[in-house]
Chain A
Amino acid sequence: MSILIDEKTTVVVQGITGNEGMFHTRQMVEYGTKVVAGVTPGKGGQKIDGVPVFNTVGEAAAKTGANASAIFVPPAFAADAILEAADSDISLIVCLTEGIPTLEMVTVRAYLREKGVNLIGPNTPGIISPGKCKIGVMAGYIHLPGTIGIISRSGTLTYEVVDQLTKKGIGQSTCVGIGGDQIIGLNFVDLLTMYERDPGTEAVIIIGEIGGTAEEEAAQFVQEHVHKPVLAFIAGLTAPSGRRMGHAGAIIAGGKGTAKEKMEVLGKAGVKVVKNPALIGEELERILKAVR
Chain B
Amino acid sequence: MKVHEYQAKEILKSYGVPVPRGRVAETPEEAGRIAKEIGTETIVVKAQIHAGGRGKGGGVQVVHSAQQAQNAAKKILGMTLVTYQTGPAGRIVRKVLIEEGMEIEEELYLGMVVDRSEACPVIMASREGGVEIEKVAAESPEKIIKEWVSPVTGFRPFHPNKIGFGLGLGLAQVGKMRGILSGLYKAFIEKDCLLAEVNPLVLTKGGDLIALDAKMNLDDNGLFRHKDIAALRDLNEEDPLEIEASKYNLNYIKLDGNVGCMVNGAGLAMATMDIIKVAGADPANFLDVGGGATVEMVKNGFEILMSDPEVKVVFINIFGGILRCDTLAKGVTEAVREVKVSVPIVVRLEGTNVAEGRRILSESGLNFAVAIGMKDGAEKVAEALKRQ
Known A109-B119, A182-B116, A278-B375; contact A102-B219, beta-carbon cutoff 8 A: yes
A132 at the interface (CB under 8 A from B): no
* Minimum distance in angstroms from B267 CB to a CB of chain A: 2
Provide the bound-state CA to CA distance between A103 and B196, in Å: 14
Q: Is A160 an interface residue (CB 8 A)?
A: yes
Instruction: Point out the residue from B134, B150, B275, B319 that lies within 8 Å of A278, measured CB to CB.
Output: B275
* CB proximity to B under 8 Å, residues A62-121: 75-76, 99-103, 105-107, 109-110
- Give the chain B neighbours of A237 by CB distance below 8 A: 273-274, 277
Is A155 an interface residue, CB under 8 A from the partner?
yes
Neighbour of A102 across the interface among B133, B194, B268, B269, CB < 8 A: B194
Give the chain B neighbours of A110 by CB distance below 8 A. Answer: 119-120, 150-152
Known interface pairs A103-B114, A237-B277, A245-B266; A142-B253 also in contact (CB < 8 Å) = no
B270 interface contact, C-beta 8 A: yes
A contact residues around B282 at 8 Å (CB): 238
Interface set, chain B 331-388, CB cutoff 8 A to A: 350-352, 373-375, 378
Answer whether residue B321 sits at the interface, using C-beta atoms and an 8 A cutoff: yes
Question: Smallest Cβ distance from A250 to chain B, in angstroms?
Answer: 6
Q: Determine whether the beta carbon of B221 is less than 8 Å from that of A248.
A: yes
Mark each residue of chain A from 222 to 264: 1 if its CB lies under 8 Å from any CB of chain B, else 0: 0000000000010111111011111111100011100100000
Q: With an 8 A cutoff between CB atoms, is B310 at the interface?
A: no
Asked if B291 is an interface residue, CB under 8 A from chain A, the answer is yes
Q: B316 CB to closest chain A CB, in angstroms? A: 13
Question: How far, in angstroms, from A138 to B226 measured CA to CA in the complex?
Answer: 33
CA distance A165 to B223 in the complex (A): 40
In the complex, whether B307 has a CB less than 8 A from a CB of chain A is no
Query: Are A277 and B351 in contact, with the CB atoms below 8 A?
Result: no
Q: Is A212 an interface residue when CB atoms closer than 8 A count as contact?
A: yes
Flag whether B288 is at the interface (Cβ < 8 A): yes
- Binary per-residue interface labels of chain A (166-187) against chain B in the complex, 1 for a CB within 8 Å, 0 otherwise: 0000000000000010110000
B171 at the binding interface (Cβ < 8 Å) = no
> What are the residues of chain B within 8 A of A256 when measuring CB–CB?
134
- Expressed in whole angstroms, the Cα–Cα distance for A159 and B319 within the complex equals 7
Bound form: Cα–Cα A42–B282 in Å? 53
- Chain A residues whose CB sits within 8 angstroms of the CB of B375 once the complex forms: 276, 278-279
How many residues of chain A are within 8 Å of chain B by beta carbon? Answer: 64
A207 touches B267 (CB 8 A): yes
Q: Which of B116, B220, B277 is within 8 Å of A183, CB to CB? A: B116
> Does A5 lie at the interface of the complex (its beta carbon under 8 Å from any beta carbon of B)?
no
Asked if B131 is an interface residue, CB under 8 A from chain A, the answer is no
CA distance A238 to B263 in the complex (A): 15
| Closest CB in chain A relative to B185 CB, distance in Å | 12
**B204 at the binding interface (Cβ < 8 Å):** no
What total count of A-B pairs have CB within 8 Å? 182
B241: interface (CB < 8 Å): no
Residues from chain B with a CB closer than 8 A to the CB of A107 are 151
Find out whether the CB atom of A245 lies under 8 angstroms from the CB atom of B189: no
Contact of B266 with A213 in the complex, beta carbons under 8 Å? no
Give Cα A180–Cα B151 distance, bound, in whole angstroms.
22
Question: With A and B bound together, what is the CA distance between A212 and B286 in angstroms?
Answer: 20
Min CB gap A215→B, angstroms: 12
Within 8 Å CB of B374, what residues of A?
A: 160, 277-278
- A122-157 interface (Cβ within 8 A of B): 125, 137-139, 141-142, 152-157
Pairwise interchain contact B114-A157, C-beta atoms closer than 8 A: no
Within the complex, the shortest CB–CB distance from B36 to chain A, in Å, comes to 38
Asked if A59 is an interface residue, CB under 8 A from chain B, the answer is no
Q: Which residues of B contact A202 (CB under 8 A)?
A: none
A125 touches B291 (CB 8 A): yes
- CB–CB B117/A213 < 8 A: yes
Given A139-B352, A255-B134, does the pair A246, B120 have CB atoms closer than 8 Å? Answer: no
What CA separation (Å) do A275 and B269 show in the bound complex? Answer: 15
Contact in complex: B266, A276 (CB < 8 Å):
no
Write the chain B residue with the least CB distance to A125: B291
Contact of B275 among A99, A213, A277 (CB under 8 A): A277
Contact A236 B319 (CB under 8 A): no
B48 within 8 A of A: no
- Can you sample 29 A-B contacts with CB below 8 Å? A101-B221, A102-B192, A102-B194, A102-B221, A103-B189, A106-B121, A110-B150, A154-B265, A156-B263, A156-B264, A156-B265, A156-B291, A157-B270, A159-B268, A159-B319, A160-B268, A160-B374, A180-B266, A209-B267, A214-B116, A237-B273, A240-B253, A243-B286, A245-B253, A246-B267, A246-B269, A276-B275, A277-B271, A277-B275
| Shortest beta-carbon contacts, A-B, top 6 | A154-B267, A246-B266, A156-B265, A157-B267, A278-B375, A139-B321
Given contacts A182-B194, A248-B219, 9 further A-B contacts (CB under 8 A): A100-B221, A103-B192, A103-B219, A106-B121, A142-B321, A159-B268, A210-B270, A235-B267, A240-B253
The interface of chain B, by Cβ under 8 A from chain A, is: 85, 114, 116-117, 119-121, 132-134, 150-152, 189, 192, 194, 219-222, 224-225, 251, 253, 255, 263-278, 282-283, 286, 288, 291-292, 319, 321-322, 350-352, 373-375, 378
